[in-house]
Structure 1
Amino acid sequence: MVDEKKPSSFVSKDEFQTQEQVPFEKTEAEVKFVSKMNRHFIPFVCVILFLQFIDKGTLSIVALIPEFFEDVGIDRDQYAWCNSIFYLGYLCMQLPNNFMMQKLPISKYIGVMLVVWGAVLFCMCFAHSFSQLAGLRFLLGFFEATTYPAVFLLIATMYRRSEQVVWFGIMFVSNSVATIIGNSAAVGILRMPTIGFFSPWKWAMIIYGSATMAAGFVVFFFMPDRSDSRWFKVTEEEKQIIEDRARDNAVVPNRKIKMNQIWEALKEPRLYCYCLISMFVNFQNGALTSFNTIIISDLGFNSTDSILLTMPYAGAIITMIFISTWLSKKYDETIYVAMGACVISIIGLTMLAAIPSGGVKLMGIYLSGGCTPSYVLLQASISSNVSGYTKKIFYTAGNLVFYTIGNFVGPLLLRDKEAPRYLSGMGVYIAANVLTILLFAYVRLVYVKTNKQRHLDKNVNIAALPEDLEDMTDKENENFVYRT
């Protein structure tokens, strides 16, 4: 927020509309401040996303333990429904989450949600029927649904638009690290004897649930959620830096819901393009997250090897995320790189559909992970091209509704009778990637056209926003430069 006294870096509305575009250079003081912010804030982001992903994926780990299906009394089709119903809970939380993010301190909100969903995961060890397991999976999705939009919003408000793509990438790298560490632990869990009344799969729920609850208390008390948080020990010089960075983001946090920004968003075709892209890329994400160990085991590998062979899949995703975010930052091109990631995904899916069996098919699984960097870059595009606090939250919420639909539908397209090639499911995923490329191309065309109409160059930066135009949307701000 700005002080009541008008800082010298602010300009009048008339001056703002006519001021010259100038190249942006980060000062040494800002570099030091950002480094301090990274040290105190990013570790929390990584831990939250790590736990969120490992807790969501615990079901796919225990699916390789024979006692799991026997104890709960489900088959593979019911297992697919238990994976999908997680996203039904995720979907139901989006509207209340949208409201609560604008009304509550985000660090406190996330901390409470971590404790609650950790308790739900813990209770999953007591499930003895399909209905019980499905109900708990619904609740797990409901409470986990708070994390992505909250973290997206924090990064969008605390980091410059040019910095955000890197941190969105780190978010999803945390997910892949969770796969590697979680599956390493799963190898040990597979070999555990029954201890007390709990078989190995139940101990997985107990261990991960307890860790999440403990992390929730730490997040509640110690996580910073504003650039001027007391944990950063901000100096007077850094207060001015924070104001400058907030103007660059064109995001001013406030707790008033502005309906005019929501109506503006609803009238923009790109909102629906972004939502459809989110759904399309997550068809295969939901399926492969739930079924990757099962697909690998169908190739003839035992349970332990199937878990171990998912680690290169996570490693491939990490590599693709680093390469895609590096390319995006180096060439200042987000959408073209996202389209390229979709092409890689199509190649992997084609291999999965075309090759009946054998080790070569593993390469198809690994390449199909291209959907993840394309989703990372989708989030970066939304974050850097939508301004107005309510509008940004609305875009994020809409995007996550369709993310949820994609992840819900995706696993259901893989029918047990079509194993191991799952031809109909793979065909849908390939078609979805093609449509994603076309939608990305349309959005980029709109941005290029708008920048030309405004006579703006994406490679330069407006130095200041006028004080009387705080919390403007990108449409209201004629000097807003869209990043392609």
Structure 2
Amino acid sequence: MMAAEKSLEPAYKATQSDEEASPVNVDESIAVDWTEAEEHAVKRKIDFILLPILCLAFFALQMDRGNISNALTSTITQDLGIDTNQINVGSSLLSAGIVLLEIPSNVLLQRVGPQKWLSGQIIAWGLVATFQNFITNYGGYLATRILLGLCEAGFIPGALYTMSTWYKKSETSLRVSIFFLGNLIAAATTSLIGAGILSMGDRDGISGWRWLFIVEGAITIGIGIIFILFLPPSVRDTSPLISFGRWSYLNRRESYILVRRVILDDPAKSTNHLRISGSDVWATVKNPRILVHVVISMTATIPVTAINTYGPSVIKSLGYGAVRANAIASSGSFIAAIMTVFLGWICDTTKRRGPALLLAGIWSLIAFTCLRESWRWSADRKCVAVIFSMAMNSTIHILNVGWLSVNCQSPQQRSVAMAMIIMSANAGGIAGSQVFRTQDAPLYLTAITACLGLAVASIVEVIGQSTWYILSNRKLEKKNDGPVVVGKVEQTPDGRGVELVRKWRWTL
């Protein structure tokens, strides 16, 4: 813990030895030269430009990743001659592909730029998703799933890091929650879209599940084109590709406010061209605080993958048709979308993250307890239990991402940490895809018990991390020489060089 708290001290000491630039505490000496109304207007403008584009891309990612649950209610297993356990292997390979390239992809994003790198990824996985309709055997299924994972690797942490450069810390949790709406809405509407496509049945000699991959893959490619044309390149360059340099989303005054307010909130965000070294990666990977966040996300994601993949199939087993089962399953994701945004808003308003995660964990505990006992209930009541067990699991991971982001002490650490936490979620996905086993059908009591145990573990982990942050902040309050965040050198009116610094405190 001591090592983590002092991780920024070398950078601070280095700036002190530079006689040309003296440190200035932004909490005490810097006054903003814009009104609150101006800042609010700029922030809202970015909300309506950046967030919809990123959400749309996340929608495409989740749609192509999660439509296998819809395909399972069609004839894919019969047509390919495979069973549930073999489907699980494909799901695990997709997550493995993401884990394998998550950090390398995020490092390359810093060199190439988010506009080019993330756009290329969307087009690439859109093509793979479309070509899934050509598979005819188990080998083809496995190959396309791992290739889909490799193409998607790094998109989520890359988008999260990019988004963090546009907003202040106090605005992060709500925006992260809104970004993950693309995931949650996709989880909900993919079931509805899938239900609609599958209701067409076989057309022109093509099975319903093949049409599912064709239509949704084509949608992703279209979203990729929108992303390329309309995403602003960076905070300092808000002129999208479609403008051909003739216009920008923001005028000069708005751009100044946007950049300046973020730097004053976190001076470390002043870096223009980020370079991530091997030592940066290693220092982040072994950071104990970050590892706790990683474990929280992994623990929470295992039951998410398990219940979201097989939720529609469990509902179908209760006597509902394939179309109706997919439509009913979407209810859980809609509830999750509403609760995630609400809790994200609570986090930013209260400047506390841990309590919201704890609430989500308690919801999951109650839901899985009910689902564990629902085998004694009627089909309709068991269906409700399935829906509520799908409604809050992903919320823990989403809020945890925002919690980790605001507690990263440098851009390099934040970039790698975002990759790590998404890696952990996908590692949880690998394990989660193995929770529901063929031999456990139709009650799946073993699987549901495992999910219940993981819900308890998530609660314990959140309480432990919150306690650690509280104790660490109390320790920093007793010290006058705690760590600081260092920013760029600026020129004062009298020609004196100053370096922006801010005292560090952990966000609970």
| Residues 1:295 and 2:304 aligned together | no
Are the structure 2 counterparts of residues 20 and 426 from structure 1 closer, same or farther at C-alpha, using a change threshold of 3 Å? farther
Q: How far did residue 73 of structure 1 move? A: 1.5
- Hey, what does 1:397 align to over in structure 2? 419
Please point out which of 112, 128, 133 is paired with 1:104. Answer: 112
One-letter amino acid of the counterpart of residue 119, structure 2: G
Between the aligned partners of 1:70 and 1:243, the Cα distance in structure 2 is: 59
Counterpart residue number, 1:367: 388
In structure 1, C-alpha distance between the alignment counterparts of 2:297 and 2:127, rounded to whole Å: 29
Distance 1:312 1:17, change over 3 A: closer
1:239 lines up with 2:247 in the alignment: no
Partner Cα separation in structure 1 for residue 94 and residue 328 of structure 2 = 25
Judged with a 3 Å threshold, the aligned counterparts in structure 2 of structure 1 residues 327 and 478 are, in CA distance, closer, same or farther, namely closer
Paired residue type of 2:294: C
Q: Is the 8 A contact 2:100 2:150 kept in 1?
A: yes
Contact 1:73–1:129 under 8 Å retained in 2: yes
3-state SS in 1 of match to 2:433: helix
Q: CA deviation at 1:193?
A: 4.1
Task: Give the letter aligned to residue 334 of structure 1.
Answer: R
Corresponding residue for 1:387?
A: 409
1:142-164: CA deviation from partner (whole Å, max 9, x where unpaired): 11223211111112111111111
Per-residue CA distance 1:71-106 (angstroms, 9 max, x = gap): 221112212222222111111221321321221111
Matched to 1:207, the amino acid is V
**Aligned match of 1:328 in 341, 347, 350?**
347
How far, CA to CA, are the matches of 1:100 and 1:426 in structure 2?
40
Cα distance in 2 between the residues matched to 1:394 and 1:182: 30
Corresponding position: 1:167 with 2:175: yes
Letter in 1 for 2:312: T
The 1:140–1:220 alpha-carbon spacing in structure 2 relative to 1, beyond 3 Å, is same
Question: Which residue of structure 1 lines up, in the alignment, with residue 191 of structure 2?
Answer: 183
| More deviation, 70-79/326-335 | 326-335
CA, structure 1 residues 241+219, in 2 after alignment: closer, same or farther (shift >3 Å)? closer
State the partner residue of 2:126. Answer: 118
Q: Which moved more, 1:217-226 or 1:27-36?
A: 217-226
Separation in structure 2 between the aligned mates of residue 234 and residue 80 of structure 1, nearest angstrom: 51
Q: Does 1:424 align with 2:424?
A: no
Q: Is the 8 A contact 1:30 1:238 kept in 2?
A: no
Task: Tell me how far apart the structure 1 counterparts of residues 226 and 335 of structure 2 sit (CA, whole Å).
Answer: 31
| Deviation sequence 1:51-70 (CA, Å, 0-9, x none) | 111111111112111x3222
Residue 27 (structure 1) aligned with residue 68 (structure 2): no
Report what 1:69 is aligned to: 77
Residue-by-residue CA offset, 1:354-396 (whole Å, 9 max, x unaligned): 2215222233223323221111110110111103111111111
Runs of 4+ in 1 over 4 A off after TM superposition: 11-14, 20-23
The residue type paired with residue 219 of structure 1 is F
> Residues of 2 paired with 1:292 and 1:253: CA distance?
45
Question: Would the aligned equivalents of 2:374 and 2:382 in 1 still touch at CA under 8 Å?
Answer: yes
TM-score, normalised with respect to structure 2: 0.84
Query: How do residues 74-473 of structure 1 correspond to structure 2 at under 5 angstroms?
Result: 74-228=82-236, 229-230=238-239, 231-236=248-253, 238-249=255-266, 250-251=268-269, 252-356=271-375, 358-368=379-389, 369-455=391-477, 467-468=488-489
Amino acid at match of 2:297: S
Matched residues in 2 for 1:234 and 1:168: separation?
Answer: 26
Matched with 1:459 is none
In the TM superposition, 1:39-50 aligns within 5 A as 39-50=48-59
120 and 237 in structure 1: CA distance in 2 versus 1, 3 angstrom threshold: closer
Structure 1 residues 329, 137: CA separation in 2 closer, same or farther (over 3 Å shift)?
A: same
| SS at 2:202 equivalent | coil
Partners of 1:322 and 1:64 in 2: CA distance: 30
Q: Secondary structure at the match of 1:158?
A: coil
| Conservation of the 8 A alpha-carbon contact between 1:299 and 1:420 | no
Indicate the larger mover: 223-232 or 149-158. 223-232
The one-letter amino acid paired with 1:384 is: V
Provide TM-score, normalisation by structure 1: 0.88
Q: Distance in 1 between matches of 2:335 and 2:274?
A: 40
**1:175 Cα deviation after fit:** 2.0
Task: Tell me how far 1:12 sits from its aligned partner.
Answer: 6.1
Using a 3 Å threshold, how does the CA distance of structure 1 residues 125 and 263 change in structure 2: closer, same or farther? closer
CA contact (8 A) 1:84 1:409 kept: yes
Task: Note the aligned Cα RMSD (angstroms).
Answer: 2.7
* C-alpha separation in 2, matches of 1:84 and 1:387: 33
- Show the counterpart of 2:5: none
Using a 3 Å threshold, how does the CA distance of structure 1 residues 73 and 380 change in structure 2: closer, same or farther?
same
Structure-2 residue corresponding to 1:58: 67
Unmatched runs of 5 consecutive residues or more in structure 2: 1-19, 240-247, 479-483, 491-499
SS at match of 1:467: strand
The answer to whether the 8 A contact 1:347-1:367 is kept is no
**CA 1:180–1:439 in 2, change beyond 3 Å: closer, same or farther?**
closer
- Corresponding residue pairs, total: 461
Structure 1 residues 448 and 12, CA, compared in 2 at 3 Å: closer, same or farther?
farther
Of stretches 404-413 and 168-177 in structure 1, the one that deviates more from structure 2 is 168-177
CA contact (8 A) 2:23 2:501 kept: no
Query: How far is 1:247 from its partner?
Result: 3.4
2:494 aligns with none
Unaligned ranges ≥5, structure 1: 1-10, 457-461, 470-475
State whether residues 298 and 419 of structure 1, in contact with CA within 8 Å, keep that contact through their aligned partners in structure 2: no
Task: For residue 50 of structure 1, report the CA deviation from its aligned partner.
Answer: 0.9
Deviation at 1:348, TM superposition (A): 1.0
* Identity over aligned pairs, percent: 20
Residue type of the partner of 2:395? P
Distance 1:214 1:237 in 2: 31
